[in-house]
Structure 1
Amino acid sequence: MCFLANRTDAMTQILMHARLFDGDQFHAGKAVTLEDGRISSIIDSPNKLGGYEPHDLTGLVLAPGFVDAQVNGGGGVMLNADTTLPQLEAMADAHRAYGTTSMLPTLISDAWPAMEHVAHLIELAHRHWGEDRSLSAIKGVHFEGPYLNAARKGVHPEEQLRPVDDRAVDLMTHPDLGVRLITVAPEKVGPGFIRECVHQGALVSAGHTAGSYQDMTAAIRAGLRGFTHLFNAMTPMGSREPGVVGAALDDPDTWCGLIADGFHVHPASMRNAIKTKPRGKVMLVTDAMASVGSDEAAFTLHDQTVTVQDGRCQLKDGTLAGSALTMIGAVRNVVELIGLPLSEALRMASRYPASFMRMDTSLGLIAPGFSADLVAFDPETWTVKHSWINGFHRAH
């Protein structure tokens, strides 16, 4: 399908006076021009505007828009069998306010009809791609389960965890869904399932798995692309059994997602993972729930009440249930908790996940020809002030 039809933004924009981070390095005294939903040029700040619609970004950092591969909910909405298109847009709106301009709505393990509903919903969303709506941020879908291991289920309802459904590959890998990310427990589905999903164009990650190092190496040979929320809901690394974590850190070609909220993973563990993996292979994800962008302190997930206390999403028994993390919050935490430079934190939020999603020829850099997906934020307060998706601007 053609996602660029029916564009209405003929105005050329110029973004000036920001501290520009282009995905590689910072620049001063530069301006960025946008036209027809793309970045058209990076130039010295002009004295005359000459037909441009100007945006004065004095005091702000201008960077590639954030790319989040794991968004369960936001704006008071969870992605599930009852979600409507306006609710899906409310999710995207909520995360856009925190700098996310590309996202994969994520379905936590659910029944087959719910999976069909979400697939149809994502297809509907893509019909609005290129319009002046936050639905344009939805680049695909993430099926997190239901083909997981109950021993590492986390918040996933055990009654929904099951063997692979006969029609699973056809549903979850359909090209009309855009980017298709599937999280599985490799020891439950086997290398053949992973190989078939990859052959059909999907990205497959390991998560909620009690598998061994050998299970993971077999999965990697079959095409496994990454590891969902590294360290969480997987076998840890031991001296004689490297486990899932050991396999993830040992392999140089796979990507690892990190939930950098200060609850899911200790800063020292995050630092060690980032030092161990090749540069570009660790990316930030939020694993965000309905509370992001909402005033509600509690919400329901599969008949269980999830509460948000001091920034932590949890069940009544204290089990972590996703997060209340935002992407700008994750960037801040990587800088303040881990001690990485802002430039690397921004890459982990944009360029690296874009590469994981095979969208690095259009996302993750501010360069001519790339999508005009951008974020401008205050580096002192870590608040997002402006965002652009396909060139459509919104002040926050």
Structure 2
Amino acid sequence: MERFVFADRFFLEDGVSGPGYLEIKEGKFGSFFVTLPTESADVIDYAGKWIAPGLVDTHIHGFKNHDIMNNDLEGLMEISEGLLSCGVTSFLPTTLTSSPDLLNEVVAMVGENYTKVKGAKIKGIFLEGPFFTEKHKGAQNTKYFCDPSIEMLESWQKYSNHFIKKIALAPERKGAMEFIEYAVNDQVTVALAHSDATYAVAKDAVEKGASIFVHTFNGMSGLHHREPGMVGAAMILPDVFAEIICDGHHVHPAAANILMDARGRKETVMVTDCMMAGGMPEGRYQLGEFPVEVKNGAARLETGSLAGSILQLKQAVKNAVDWGIATPEEAIYMASTAPAKSIGIDGECGMIATGYDADFIVLTPELELTATYLDGVCRFQAENFMGKEGVR
């Protein structure tokens, strides 16, 4: 029997449509119809709801009391399952600056086991560090900072079965330009982060192939009218993406709006930078080797500096709309299609298009998550929204 999803609004590859029926065929998206093309169809009824592509988090360190750096397969599985409650169907497990040996072990664990997870799908590994500068260290361990090393990247690729998808560095470090060219040629997306680079150096890095600015405004040289810095580069350089953490702690909504207006909402990428305390009560946790206190919705080091976030990507979408800086269509795009495009996986996820895995989320018009589907199967359902499947 043919199978369809009915809803009031669909955020499709080519725009917003609905009410209508979206075909689900063998775990993949089929065509969209305004009217049901057959009377003998199984219809999943979400009248009054919205259907959007599954969200894609390309910068996340942990969730549900598990951290990628714990190098624990069970923890990786728990993160994958837990992210379904955030509306996330694809993600990049993200490392921290650490010893070469531990990083080797972590990327090997992910590269060997990523197909075993049962929840949100792992699309690659994001190495956040260790090629950073001390001035903008954030919650990264300066003991392990070093200049970019092609040999280290080759080692990580070998251990991970060539699963490194994205790597961040400070472009002012020695050898950065040569490293960028090599990495991009190796199909690794290069991001710029934790850097005091001038605008000119950031521009050089982009011309060599770097294409993402990591958690824009945070951990980088700011915008000054005589030295635009990393922030200015993130806003104005062509053909790049700028990450933003819309939790209300990392960036003021007005600053996020300025970035979105300057960069464009199709090149702005919502990320969480979530650490292990995501989905957990307030209290004391760890981020890598550092103790962190989660209080009043923010995760901070003992120094008071922010240490990642506890943001869920579904909340970032809602925040941007509630703050009045994005429409629902724009916010959903920045949390699904834009992240996928930023790392070159938009051919397989991040949008509702014929032939793609039927990974999607069900939202209320107030952008509350109702359900998360993987391959056309409901894998998470919010307690307050008990949907029903049946023939209309």
Instruction: Name which of 58, 79, 86 aligns with 2:47.
Output: 58
Q: Give the SS at the match of 2:105.
A: helix
Q: 1:181 to 1:113 in 2, by over 3 A?
A: same
Q: What code does the residue aligned with 1:167 have?
A: E
- Contiguous gaps of at least 5 residues in structure 2: 382-392
- Residues 1:83 and 2:71 aligned together: yes
Deviation at 1:178, TM superposition (A): 4.0
Quote the residue 1:171 is aligned against.
Answer: 155
Quote the residue 2:129 is aligned against.
Answer: 145
Asked if 1 retains the 8 angstrom alpha-carbon contact of 2:12 and 2:52, the reply is: yes
Instruction: Name which of 319, 342, 360 aligns with 2:346.
Output: 360
- For 1:57 and 1:342, the matched residues in 2 are separated by 18
Deviation at 1:300, TM superposition (A): 1.3
Aligned residue runs from structure 1 range 1-396, under 5 A:
13-46=3-36, 50=40, 52=42, 54-80=43-69, 82-128=70-116, 133-134=118-119, 137-165=121-149, 167-173=151-157, 176-178=161-163, 180-188=165-173, 189-295=175-281, 297-380=283-366, 382-396=367-381
Asked if 2 retains the 8 angstrom alpha-carbon contact of 1:101 and 1:374, the reply is: yes
Deviation at 1:48, TM superposition (A): 6.2
- For 1:277 and 1:64, the matched residues in 2 are separated by 23
Asked if 2 retains the 8 angstrom alpha-carbon contact of 1:20 and 1:26, the reply is: yes
Asked if 2 retains the 8 angstrom alpha-carbon contact of 1:75 and 1:93, the reply is: no
Q: Give the SS at the match of 1:299.
A: strand
Higher mean alpha-carbon deviation, 302-311 vs 316-325, is at 302-311
Q: Give the SS at the match of 1:60.
A: strand
Q: What code does the residue aligned with 1:114 have?
A: L
Asked if 2 retains the 8 angstrom alpha-carbon contact of 1:12 and 1:36, the reply is: no
**Which whole-Å deviations, capped at 9, do the CAs of 1:65-113 have from their partners, x for residues lacking one?**
1111100100110111x33222101112222111011111100111112
Asked if 2 retains the 8 angstrom alpha-carbon contact of 1:119 and 1:177, the reply is: no
Q: 1:48 to 1:12 in 2, by over 3 A?
A: closer
Asked if 1 retains the 8 angstrom alpha-carbon contact of 2:133 and 2:195, the reply is: yes
Asked if 1 retains the 8 angstrom alpha-carbon contact of 2:234 and 2:240, the reply is: yes
Q: Give the SS at the match of 1:58.
A: strand
Q: What code does the residue aligned with 1:63 have?
A: A
Higher mean alpha-carbon deviation, 181-190 vs 202-211, is at 181-190
Q: 1:59 to 1:156 in 2, by over 3 A?
A: same
- Contiguous gaps of at least 5 residues in structure 1: 1-10
Query: What do you get for the CA RMSD once the two structures are aligned?
Result: 2.0
Asked if 2 retains the 8 angstrom alpha-carbon contact of 1:173 and 1:180, the reply is: no
Q: 1:279 to 1:337 in 2, by over 3 A?
A: closer
- For 2:274 and 2:267, the matched residues in 1 are separated by 21
Q: Give the SS at the match of 1:379.
A: coil
- For 2:177 and 2:89, the matched residues in 1 are separated by 33
Deviation at 1:176, TM superposition (A): 3.5
Deviation at 1:183, TM superposition (A): 0.5
Q: 1:117 to 1:37 in 2, by over 3 A?
A: farther
Asked if 2 retains the 8 angstrom alpha-carbon contact of 1:108 and 1:144, the reply is: yes
How many residues are treated as equivalent by the alignment? 379
Asked if 2 retains the 8 angstrom alpha-carbon contact of 1:23 and 1:346, the reply is: no
**Which whole-Å deviations, capped at 9, do the CAs of 1:350-389 have from their partners, x for residues lacking one?**
1111111212222222121122111112233x43221122
Asked if 2 retains the 8 angstrom alpha-carbon contact of 1:173 and 1:200, the reply is: no
- For 2:39 and 2:275, the matched residues in 1 are separated by 42
Deviation at 1:200, TM superposition (A): 0.7
Asked if 2 retains the 8 angstrom alpha-carbon contact of 1:169 and 1:196, the reply is: no
Deviation at 1:391, TM superposition (A): 2.9
Asked if 2 retains the 8 angstrom alpha-carbon contact of 1:94 and 1:292, the reply is: no
Q: What code does the residue aligned with 1:158 have?
A: T
Q: Give the SS at the match of 1:57.
A: strand
Deviation at 1:128, TM superposition (A): 3.0
Deviation at 1:393, TM superposition (A): 2.3
